[in-house]
Amino acid sequence: MKFQVFQEGKRVDEFPLCGVYLFGTDGIGVRRTKITFKNGVIECKKPSLETAGLALLWPVSGFGKVLLPTTCLPERKKPYNLNVEIARAKLMQIINKREDWSFFDTIAGLEDLSKEAQDLLIRAIQRISDAPVASQLADESLKKAMVFSEELAARHAESFFTARDKTHGFGRGCLGCRVDPVEMGNPTYVDSLLELFGFGIIPINWAQVEPEKGRFDFSAIDSCVDLLGKKKMVVGAGPLLRFSEDYLPKWLLESSPGFEKIRETAYQFISKVVARYSAFVHRWYVVSGLNALNHFGFNFEEVLEMTRAANMAVRAASNRGLKIVEICDPWGEYYAATPNSIPPLVYVDMVVQSGINFDAFGLQVRFGRNQSGMHIRDMMQISAMLDHFGPISKPLYITDVEVPSENSNGSYDGKVAGIWHEQWSQSCQGQWLEQFCRIALSKPFVDAVAYGNLVDTQDSTISHSGLLTEQLEPKESFQTLKRLRHRIFSR
């Protein structure tokens, strides 16, 4: 498959391929692919002749730079016009979501925009033999379609958010944040935490809690549990298990254990932690990211068995508290390049079908970094992704939400990580966070949204993503979230 790339009606000589991957008709990433750019053309080589779509970070004039897909297309010798195919895919998504949402009412002030976008795409297809002209028409179509799609997602969310609010559908723990044990001794930090959030998630890192086999350091967790308990917050804790290298004890990594030994050791660790805090923790994030983070290379059956064993350990140690299985990178781009990984919804389905005893799924959502799963997406894509979890008979907890409040360098630069409407600023961060929370909490199956970190820290996944500066001064996003909280709870 080949795609011609145009900007302002001219074939481009340079085009950075950021977030690029191929996906099949089932939305799952295609493995063993090679995607290159040369002389204005993206060439995609894949192992089969099946139809596939291309997704990549794409500039949209007046809107930003977001990760967008094409539709699934058959192979052919003649290059496709990438500008046209991306515009076509966005308009198809709009039509499909209006159908899914049964949202056919006229949207005041926007219907003309929708019709103009459709008419421009039709004209682009009619002029497809004149590729530069077709690309310009497609760019104009996409520009209007992006504005319409986000407004459509916002209007749909507002109607359901308002309805849920009127029926008192939000609990006091619907807005939360992952706490920083280092800052918990600072009264300003704690006051800001209590001002915004009804629940806090205490981080648990196995590598830090059990630095040597059989020797445990619970001091940081103890202080957090004690403080949050006194403040009457809903307390979450975890992840109890996360199979990335930075969460695994060195003594376990160096011993090169087999699966049975790892499962037994993990079971013992979970049992000890849960027994210690069972009277205080309301939500246990039992296992996190096993769909994508699999340092030991567990096979399909072992991933499932580890998920089962972890939940059994929590249940055996305590009858209190929800057991949450957390998914990372919900779009699943990682599957195309990461061995021993499982597509998100495949993992979700197999956990549900296997009869594992757990209570809810968690979903990590981070944006603003040139890394798989973290490139900027538009709000309709986010809403559509959340809808995939609707038919599953389990509540959903959104965790570790992060977006930046200013542009940074390297992998955090908007040129390679993505831009939402404008260069990142405190104001832009606040607007994004308000729209995201409204969309997420408008879904009846979403019980809570938790932000990733309250204050800017050097080791955060997304640079400058805190709601407070390093000096603990509130950003505009803090005030925005405060107003949203006031709306929810001022009855």
Residue 199 belongs to domain with CATH number = 3.20.20.80
Q: 96 — phi, psi (to 5°)?
A: -65, -40
For the segment 35-60, the average pLDDT, to the nearest whole number, is: 96
**Sequence-ordered list of residues with C-beta below 8 angstroms from that of 167, at least 6 positions apart, any chain:** none
209 and 333, same domain (yes or no): yes
308 and 399, same domain (yes or no): yes
CB 323 within 8 A of CB 276: no
Query: Using CA atoms in the order 24, 27, 33, 39, what is the torsion angle rounded to 10 degrees?
Result: 90
Q: Is residue 447 part of a domain?
A: yes
Residue 305 burial (CB count, 10 A): 17
What CA–CA distance (Å, rounded) separates 36 from 326? 34
What CA–CA distance (Å, rounded) separates 3 from 478? 43
| pLDDT tens-place string over residues 366-397 | 999 999 999 999 999 999 999 999 999 899 99
**Sequence-ordered list of residues with C-beta below 8 angstroms from that of 450, at least 6 positions apart, any chain:** 175, 176, 177, 178, 199, 201, 236, 397, 398, 399, 400, 401
Q: Which helix (H) or strand (E) holds 426?
A: helix 426-442
Q: Is residue 140 part of a domain?
A: yes
Q: What is the mean pLDDT of the chain?
A: 95
- Domain end, chosen from 161, 196, 231, is at 161
432 is written with which tokens? 């994004």
- Domain end, chosen from 137, 161, 185, is at 161
CB 288 within 8 A of CB 236: no
48 and 154, same domain (yes or no): yes
Q: Among 162-171, 271-280, 384-393, 469-478, which stretch is predicted with the lowest mean pLDDT?
A: 162-171
167 pLDDT tier (thresholds 50, 70, 90): confident
pLDDT over threshold 90, residue 33:
yes
142 and 184, same domain (yes or no): no
101 and 235, same domain (yes or no): no
* Coil, helix or strand at residue 139: helix
What CA–CA distance (Å, rounded) separates 163 from 65? 33
pLDDT over threshold 90, residue 286:
yes
295 is written with which tokens? 């340092």
Q: What percent of the chain has pLDDT over 90?
A: 92
What CA–CA distance (Å, rounded) separates 226 from 248? 26
For the segment 115-141, the average pLDDT, to the nearest whole number, is: 97
Helix axis angle, 476-489 to 187-196, nearest 10°: 50
How far is CA 60 from its chain centroid?
21
276 and 148, same domain (yes or no): no
155 and 13, same domain (yes or no): yes
Which amino acid is it at 302?
E
469 and 442, same domain (yes or no): yes
Tell me the sheet residues that pair with 420.
64, 422
What CA–CA distance (Å, rounded) separates 199 from 229? 10
- pTM, two decimals, is 0.95
What CA–CA distance (Å, rounded) separates 75 from 339? 26
Q: Is residue 89 part of a domain?
A: yes
What CA–CA distance (Å, rounded) separates 5 from 13? 9
246 is written with which tokens? 């930075």
336 and 205, same domain (yes or no): yes
Q: How many domains does the chain have?
A: 2
Q: 191 — phi, psi (to 5°)?
A: -60, -40
Q: Is residue 166 part of a domain?
A: no
What CA–CA distance (Å, rounded) separates 321 from 314? 9
105 pLDDT tier (thresholds 50, 70, 90): low
- The per-residue pLDDT for 466 is 97
148 and 212, same domain (yes or no): no
What does DSSP say about strands 175-178 and 64-69: parallel, antiparallel, or unpaired?
A: unpaired
- Domain end, chosen from 138, 161, 184, is at 161
pLDDT over threshold 80, residue 261:
yes
**Could you tell me the residue range of the domain that residue 459 belongs to?**
172-489
Higher per-residue confidence, 103 vs 148:
148
Q: Which residue has the tokens 């939400």?
A: 401
The verdict on whether omega for the bond into residue 239 sits within 30 degrees of 0, i.e. cis, is: yes
- The per-residue pLDDT for 158 is 93
- The per-residue pLDDT for 476 is 97
CB 323 within 8 A of CB 311: yes
What CA–CA distance (Å, rounded) separates 225 from 222? 5
Q: Is residue 10 part of a domain?
A: yes
**Sequence-ordered list of residues with C-beta below 8 angstroms from that of 336, at least 6 positions apart, any chain:** 21, 22, 23, 29, 30, 31, 33
- The per-residue pLDDT for 124 is 98
53 and 180, same domain (yes or no): no
Q: Is residue 167 part of a domain?
A: no
Q: Report the length, in residues, of the chain.
A: 491
- The per-residue pLDDT for 351 is 97
117 pLDDT tier (thresholds 50, 70, 90): very high
What CA–CA distance (Å, rounded) separates 216 from 336? 38
pLDDT over threshold 70, residue 440:
yes
∠ CA 78-83-88, rounded to 5°: 95
Q: Is residue 289 part of a domain?
A: yes
pLDDT over threshold 70, residue 491:
no
- The per-residue pLDDT for 459 is 85
311 and 244, same domain (yes or no): yes
- The per-residue pLDDT for 106 is 65
Ramachandran region of residue 235, left (φ > 0), alpha (ψ -120 to 50) or beta? beta
Q: Among 105-114, 175-184, 195-204, which stretch is predicted with the lowest mean pLDDT?
A: 105-114
For the segment 246-252, the average pLDDT, to the nearest whole number, is: 96
Question: Measured between alpha carbons, how far is residue 173 from residues 263, 453, 456 in Å?
Answer: 32, 16, 23
Closest CA to 236 of 169, 324, 309: 324
Residue 101 burial (CB count, 10 A): 18
* Coil, helix or strand at residue 421: coil
Question: Measured between alpha carbons, how far is residue 357 from residues 52, 71, 170, 395 in Å?
Answer: 36, 38, 25, 14
Q: Is residue 73 part of a domain?
A: yes
- The per-residue pLDDT for 112 is 86
pLDDT over threshold 80, residue 103:
no
168 pLDDT tier (thresholds 50, 70, 90): confident
